[in-house]
Structure 1
Amino acid sequence: MRHLWQAGFAALCLSTACAPIAHAAAPAYSLAQSIPLGGAAHWDYLHYHAATGQLFIAHGKAVSVVDMASGKVQGNVTGLDDTHGIAFDPATGDGYTDSSGTRTLSEFDPATLKVMKTLPSLEDTDGMVFDAASHDIFVAAGDSQAVLALDPATDQETKIDLPGKPEYLVADGQGRLYVALNDKNQIAVVDTEAKKLVTSDALPGCAAPTGMAMDTATMRVFASCQNGKLAVVNAKTGAMVALLNIGKGSDSAAFDAKRHLVFSANSTGTLSVIREIDADHYQALAPVKTQIGARTMALDEANGDVFLVTATPQGKGKVKHPGFAPRYNFEPGTLRLLVYKPAS
């Protein structure tokens, strides 16, 4: 397959007077595998578990699991109801996911894919992340306007109220959690050890932040927004240092610390890629053409592989919000994993 990148790119920053940085060679990505997943055409977040080489995909009433070394589907974590987020406890190796339909969390064994324990949760659970500072798992709960903190060692749960509806979240490993408030166009900051809200910061120009990623070395948070913007925020001050163009319909973001690249998966059929020059300077690379609906993603930082999931659209999409991407229905049985590999 031909490469989907162009060598040139333009520098982007907040100021229209910002001078472009000299062109550099852009990495080339191409579609290497398309792996059928089947089943219902319902999906949400992906999680690549480097410890086992497994990719976990929230898939409606199950979590589908693919062994990425072989490219084969291993099976499913079943008994779920409308699952969205996936996270792992490094101390035990156990996985966690949610069932929004029953307001529960499930602990599962990644080797056997069996659910070992079910715990209560909140309404409208979504993204999920492990925090290395508190050793807790944090779960976004949109309609609850809260984040749920779960201590995997004791099963103790703490509800942390927020000033808006959280969608996704990222931890810095130093005691702070950054949460996209989708309805408020803000990032909420939570103290993960005190289990309380610290502050919330506005994201001017960003409508409906959804995807979240972070460079913990530079302390920059990346929020991908439904209106085709990516906000770069100084985690220490809450100030926005850049507002970059991406594709519309982003539902997840990722940061490749090894290659200094920021990604946004967009439902309009593109993968936006931004090169991090330094903490406050970024360059937009030519977008990778993907497939309609591929809005969530995961990343293997070891080799740079990017994982996306989508299905075959039914008819034309409908625009529900002006300035946002169209929403599609998808054909059952057509769900597939797309693996994009860098040239080097």
Structure 2
Amino acid sequence: MKDALKTLTALAVLLAPLPAAAQPLYHLAAVVKLSGATKWDYLKLDKPTGRLFISHGTEELVVNPATRQVVGRLSGLPGSHGVAFDPATGEIWADSATKSVATVFDPHSLAPLASVPVLDDADGMAYDPASRTIFVSGGDGHGLTPINPATRTAYPTVALGSAPEAFAPDGQGNLYVAMVEANEVARVDTRTRQVTARWPTTGCLAPTGLALDEARGRIFVSCRGGSLDVLDERTGRVMVTLPIGKGTDGAAFDPVRQRAFSANGEGTISVIDTRPAVPKLLATLHTEPGARTLAVDPRSGDLFTVTAKVAATIAPATPQGRTHYRFVPGTLALYIYAPTP
């Protein structure tokens, strides 16, 4: 009898249903082929129109994520990097590092309307609602060019002392800038256009990506070496340092799902849960090598990133530098990752 009971118990264990495998937080929903050169930088979603703008070498591509189609181009932008939107008019501003200008485009025809000189090596762009100013960073220019979009003129340069990378306004009159060479975050008063604080990124080197959780007052700074610092927006104190993938060049925040993201050139997106008192790494989403920048749609939760098929890997120039790749011509694509139901 005992042997029979043991046999039945063993069979019951074998026949018991296995626990369901955990579903990934996000899944690949679409791949949109993008013609032209394998060059890109920032991605930015224009929330009122739902259009996605992708820096693409000499132009900004305009994509409708709903139809998965390229619906327009902002042309004449050699060394394209950043884009920003004027909510008062809907006009689109985009920069050219080669020309050292920011150009404003008609939101409907996408025709250029005017250009404003900016700092050397024009890079990221953002609109600050508190001052109604568009800011353009200049890597080699070591500062920011503030632009009055109403008059289409530039204010005096905001000197930062070294090269800036990504930056973001908090809507309350502060702008936070990732300083890649100084290993710090600079805070700028957007009305006086003066630097008001400098805070070291004590947990990571070469900060490039930056995103804000405005409701909780947190700054997420992703660094190329594989770490991310979470700073208190009021004091600049590093709350926690989290592990991420290497080679990041962009960060984003989803206020609806309360998640921060770091796009990592090694081929991952680090997903961070911002709800706890101390944010924590929630998941690692596997993407494709070279996908180092991203944007998020808070309405759908979709994540957007861009890369091309890798032909060869080139070693990074420094221990903190991202890996550089040589890409197969004609393989550039937009990857859309959707939240798993």
- Same-fold call, TM > 0.5? yes
1:116 maps onto 2:110 in alignment:
no
- Give the CA deviation at 1:323: 4.8
Q: Does 1:80 align with 2:77?
A: yes
Partner SS state of residue 222, structure 2: strand
Larger proportion of helix: 2
Residues 25 and 283 in structure 2, CA contact (< 8 A), matched pair in contact too = no
Aligned to 1:270: 268
Matched residue, 2:139:
142
Asked if 1:309 is matched to 2:324, the reply is no
Aligned: 1:66 with 2:59: no
Q: Following superposition of structure 1 onto structure 2, how do residues 177-192 of structure 1 map, counting pairs within 5 Å? A: 177-192=175-190
Query: Which structure is richer in relative contact order (CA contacts within 8 A, separation 6 or more)?
Result: 1
How big is the shift at 1:332? 2.3
Which position in structure 1 is the counterpart of 2:287? 290
Aligned residue type for 1:87: A
Q: CA deviation at 1:76?
A: 1.2
Q: Distance in 2 between matches of 1:37 and 1:208?
A: 30
| Matched residue, 2:152 | 155
- CA shift for structure 1 position 113: 1.8
1:300 aligns with 2:297: yes
Question: By how many angstroms is 1:50 displaced?
Answer: 1.5
- 5+ residue gaps, structure 2: 1-20
> Which residue number corresponds to residue 42 of structure 1?
39
Correspondence for 2:5? none
Aligned partners of 2:33, 2:162: CA distance in 1, in Å? 37
SS of 1:281's equivalent in the other structure is: coil
Question: TM-score with structure 1 length normalisation?
Answer: 0.90
Alignment check: 8 A CA contact 1:46 1:58 kept: yes
* Deviation at residue 205 of structure 1 after TM alignment: 2.4
User: Which residue of structure 2 aligns with residue 23 of structure 1?
Assistant: none
Q: CA deviation at 1:27?
A: 6.0
Aligned position for 1:246: 244
- Partners of 2:331 and 2:253 in 1: how far apart? 28
Residue aligned with 1:163, SS: coil
The 5-angstrom pairing of residues 217-232 of structure 1 reads: 217-232=215-230
Structure 1 outlier segments of 4+, above 3 Å: none
**1:263 aligned partner, one-letter code:** F
In 2, are the aligned partners of 1:209 and 1:223 still within 8 Å (CA)?
Answer: yes
Output the CA distance in 1 between the equivalents of 2:163 and 2:268: 26
**Does the aligned pair in 1 maintain the 2:230–2:241 contact within 8 Å?**
yes
Aligned equivalent of 1:197:
195
Judge which range, 245-254 or 106-115, deviates more: 106-115
SS at match of 1:286: strand
CA displacement at 1:111 relative to structure 2: 2.1
CA distance in 2, matches of 1:109, 1:206: 40
Is residue 332 of structure 2 the alignment partner of residue 335 of structure 1?
A: yes
Q: Give how far 1:128 is off.
A: 0.7
Alignment partners' CA distance in 1, 2:313 and 2:139:
28
Instruction: Note the alpha carbon deviations across 1:56-106, whole angstroms, 9 max, x for none.
Output: 001000101111121111121111111101110000000111000010111
Kindly state the Cα deviation for residue 197 of structure 1 after the two structures are TM-superposed: 1.0
Q: Which moved more, 1:111-120 or 1:210-219?
A: 111-120
* Mapped partners of 2:283, 2:270: distance in 1: 8
Which residue is equivalent to 1:256?
254
Structure 1 CA distance, aligned partners of 2:124 and 2:338?
25
Alignment-mate amino acid for residue 231 of structure 1: D
* Aligned-partner Cα distance in 1 for 2:133–2:321: 34
Instruction: Flag the 1:268–1:212 CA change in 2: closer, same or farther, 3 A.
Output: same
**Counterpart-to-counterpart distance in 2, 1:324 and 1:38:** 28
CA distance in 2 between counterparts of 1:147 and 1:206 reads 24
Letter in 2 for 1:260: Q
Structure 1, unmatched stretches of 5+, are 1-5, 8-25
Higher alpha-carbon Rg = 2
The structural deviation recorded for 1:324 is 4.1
Identity %: 43
